[in-house]
Amino acid sequence: MVLIYTLVMIEVLAFIAYFLATGHNNYKYQVYSQSFFADFISYNNAKLLFLAGAQLGITIYAFMRWYYEFYTIEPGLLSYRWGVFFKKNKEIPMDKSMTTIISYGPMGRILHYGSIQVENGYANKTIVLKDISRPENFMKTLKYFINPHSAYFNNEPDVVKMLKEEEHERLEFKSSFRFDRKLGQPNKELEKAAMKTIAAFINSNGGHLIIGIHDNRETLGLEADYQTLPKHSSDGFENHFTQVFNKMLGPEFRTLVKLWFNKIDGHEICVVQTLKGTRPVYLKLDQNEHFYIRTGNSTAPLKMSEAESYNNSRFQNTNV
């Protein structure tokens, strides 16, 4: 479609140039007669040369504009570069905060092309990828670079099966994420406990944290958690979870975690599926960093000297 637009624009501009060259106005002849061309080329031939030169110049400019305009997608960054005489560059960080929207015009729906608007909420930046052929296919590439680990989350965890198991190295249950049923109010210590477990999963072999289930397998649900949030829903829960996660563990590790919401016994619960990391994650509390791993069915802290030794053996040449 960019090629079609370019050809149409060349023809429109060429027509304008033709009109300017052949229109009957005395000033054009006066300009011609005062130029050095008048001694070598007739007025009619000069008009033809002007028309040919204008069309050639427009064609070259259109080609150069297409040649120097391109998008680059790489891990963590989307770049847009353009400009013939003045080079310009716009970059936008790629992370899970990004939103992508496809839009089609009337011709786009018929000829299968459209534009993709990419917006990063944290960085407050937007890039529009214009006139993309079959943008729904291009979206797959974007989503992969936004979350390279998405392929590992294709299969939803079997919650029913996990609820029949005891807690172990890769499974733990939490009654709530933030609502303390004993105190009858939110308690940030519960959020810290959940993040300790998730950090331990990342530093070990991954795992599943099920929130809304008591240790005795009683289904308590997330309804009490929902009521403590501005948005009383799973979306509000995940937004708050992400804020806590980014603050305590770091947004660079958020792609290692996916939240699944399920209905059990009439209550909604959350399964936090966590992949093992390729580098250590530290829990940030009270301006200090803490390191946790899973040992059996519990989360254990390590001293910095122990963590260094563990990291040397655990993360050396490790891939997810």
Residues 142, 23 share a domain: no
- Is residue 223 within 8 A of residue 229, CB to CB? The reply is no
In total, how many domains does the chain have? 3
The CA–CA distances, whole Å, from 102 to 80, 138, 155, 180 equal: 17, 10, 26, 42
Residues 74, 63 share a domain: no
Report the relative pairing of strands 283-285 and 288-295 from DSSP bridges: antiparallel
The alpha carbon of residue 313 and the mean position of all alpha carbons in its chain are separated, in whole angstroms, by 32
Residues 168, 233 share a domain: yes
Residue 319 lies in a domain: no
Residues 160, 304 share a domain: yes
- Is residue 212 within 8 A of residue 267, CB to CB? The reply is yes
Residue 168 scores a pLDDT above 90: yes
- Is residue 260 within 8 A of residue 273, CB to CB? The reply is yes
Choose the final residue of a domain: 67, 93, 111: 67
Residue 320 lies in a domain: no
Q: Single out the residue of 183, 173, 189 nearest to residue 270, CA to CA.
A: 173
Choose the final residue of a domain: 13, 39, 67: 67
Structure tokens at 296: 């059996």
Provide mean pLDDT across the span 80-109: 83
Residues 170, 106 share a domain: no
Residues 203, 286 share a domain: yes
Choose the final residue of a domain: 148, 170, 202: 148
Residue 185 lies in a domain: yes
Range of the domain at 142: 70-148
Tokens 């519990």 identify what position?
Answer: 298
Q: What is the pLDDT of residue 148?
A: 67
Residues 63, 205 share a domain: no
- Is residue 209 within 8 A of residue 177, CB to CB? The reply is no
Provide mean pLDDT across the span 179-208: 95
How many CB atoms neighbour CB 11 within 10 A? 12
Residues 94, 216 share a domain: no
pLDDT band of residue 182 (cuts 50, 70, 90) is very high
In the chain, the percentage of residues whose pLDDT exceeds 90 is: 42
- Tell me how far apart the alpha carbons of residues 118 and 215 are, in angstroms, rounded to a whole number: 42
pTM score of the predicted model: 0.58
Residues 304, 194 share a domain: yes
According to DSSP, the residues that pair with 267 across neighbouring strands are: 264
Structure tokens at 228: 């403590």
pLDDT band of residue 320 (cuts 50, 70, 90) is very low
Residue 295 scores a pLDDT above 90: yes
Residue 87 lies in a domain: yes
Checking 157-163 for CB contacts under 8 A at 24+ apart, the result is 157/208, 157/260, 157/271, 157/273, 159/210, 159/260, 159/262, 159/264, 159/269, 159/271, 160/264, 162/208, 162/210, 162/271, 163/210, 163/213, 163/217, 163/264
Q: Single out the residue of 278, 182, 265 nearest to residue 218, CA to CA.
A: 265
pLDDT band of residue 249 (cuts 50, 70, 90) is very high
CATH number of the CATH domain containing 173? 3.30.950.30
Residues 95, 17 share a domain: no
- Is residue 234 within 8 A of residue 129, CB to CB? The reply is no
Residue 96 scores a pLDDT above 80: no
